[in-house]
Amino acid sequence: MANRSKCTPKKKDQFLAEIILGRSVSAGASACAVSRRSVYSWREADDEFARRWDEAIEQGTDLLEDKAKEQAVDGNTTLLIFLLKARRPDKYRERSEVVNREIPATPKDVAESIKRMGTKDHDELRKILDSPGAEGS
């Protein structure tokens, strides 16, 4: 009985051809009748194979990106948004900005605000000011 995980140039080429098509490592290994563990062992033992694998990943990713672009242009808005964010993150990334638009209060402003407060608010303010962490305590 033949060893299914035996490393041969033909199996390596077959695996890499699957990766170039955008397939996963599992699918590539299955296509050449070996385990994922086997192809990772080949990668670890063979620097040239590892280099070719990395290049195959890049080619496969380019192919997947092209397919995604086609779908996005055909109306997949969510996919289009993801592609734009990946391509131009500076322009399309999520942003949040905190702006303090309040003008620093003067003691007179604070006093007037306190005068407008109800009794319940005064009591709450007193609790805050009397708490151990309050400034001036």
Q: What pLDDT is attached to residue 24?
A: 95
Q: What pLDDT is attached to residue 134?
A: 61
The domains of the chain are located at: 9-92
Where residue 124 falls among pLDDT bands split at 50, 70, 90? confident
Q: Tell me the one-letter amino acid at 49.
A: F
Q: What pLDDT is attached to residue 8?
A: 95
More confident residue, 133 or 20: 20
Q: What pLDDT is attached to residue 125?
A: 77
Query: In terms of Cα–Cα distance, which of 59, 49, 32 is closest to 40?
Result: 49
Where residue 135 falls among pLDDT bands split at 50, 70, 90? low
Q: What pLDDT is attached to residue 1?
A: 40
